[in-house]
Amino acid sequence: MRFIATGDWQLGMTAHYLSPEARPRFHRARLDVVSRICELAEEQDAEFVLVCGDVFETNQLDRAIIARTFEALASFTVPVVLLPGNHDPLDAASIYDSPAFTSRVPDHIHVLRDSDPFEVVPGVEIVGAPWFSKHPQGDLVAAATTDLAEVAPGSVRIIAGHGAVSVLDPDRESLATIDTDHLRALLREDRAQFVALGDRHATFEVADRIWYPGAPEVTSRREDDPGNVLLVDIDADTHATEVEKIHLGTWTFSVIDADLNSAADVDEFEQRMNAVADKDRTAVWLILRGTLPTAAKARLDEILDHFTDLFALVSLWERHTDLAVIAADEDFADLGLSGYLQETLDELSARAAAEDDTAIAAQDALGLLYRFARSSS
Provide the binding-site residues for other proteins, judged by CB under 8 A.
Answer: 12, 14, 16-17, 20, 23, 57-64, 91-93, 95, 98, 132-135, 338-341, 343-344, 347-348, 358, 360-362, 364-365, 367-369, 372-373, 375-376
Q: Supply the minimum distance, in Å, between the C-beta of residue 334 and other proteins.
A: 15
Kindly report each contact of residues 115-118 with a partner whose C-beta sits within 8 Å and lies 24 or more positions away, as own/partner: 115/143, 115/144, 115/145, 117/157, 118/81
Nearest to 259 by CA among 236, 287, 300, 217: 287
Residue partners of 237: CB distance under 8 A and separation at least 6: 153, 154
284: three-class secondary structure by DSSP: strand
CB-CB contact of 193 with 175 (8 Å): no
Nearest to 160 by CA among 182, 178, 141: 141
CB-CB contact of 326 with 293 (8 Å): yes
What would the DSSP string read from start to end of 85-150?
-SSS-SSTT-GGGSHHHHTT--TTEEE--SSS-EEEETTEEEEE---SSSS-SS-HHHHHHTTPPP
Q: Supply the minimum distance, in Å, between the C-beta of residue 42 and other proteins.
A: 32
Q: Which amino acid is at 234?
A: I
How far apart, in whole angstroms, are the C-alpha atoms of residue 300 and residue 306?
Answer: 10
Q: Supply the minimum distance, in Å, between the C-beta of residue 98 and other proteins.
A: 6
Cβ count near 155 (within 10 Å)? 16
What is the Cα 112 distance to its own chain's centre? 24
Q: Supply the minimum distance, in Å, between the C-beta of residue 68 and other proteins.
A: 12
Q: Supply the minimum distance, in Å, between the C-beta of residue 255 and other proteins.
A: 18
Q: Supply the minimum distance, in Å, between the C-beta of residue 203 and other proteins.
A: 26
How far apart, in whole angstroms, are the C-alpha atoms of residue 212 and residue 235?
Answer: 20
Residue partners of 221: CB distance under 8 A and separation at least 6: 253, 254, 255, 283, 285
Give the residue with the Cβ less far from other proteins, 126 or 286: 286
Surface-to-core class of residue 370, CB atoms within 10 Å of its CB (0-12 exposed, 13-18 middle, 19+ buried): buried
Nearest to 148 by CA among 180, 167, 125, 123: 125
Q: Supply the minimum distance, in Å, between the C-beta of residue 319 and other proteins.
A: 14
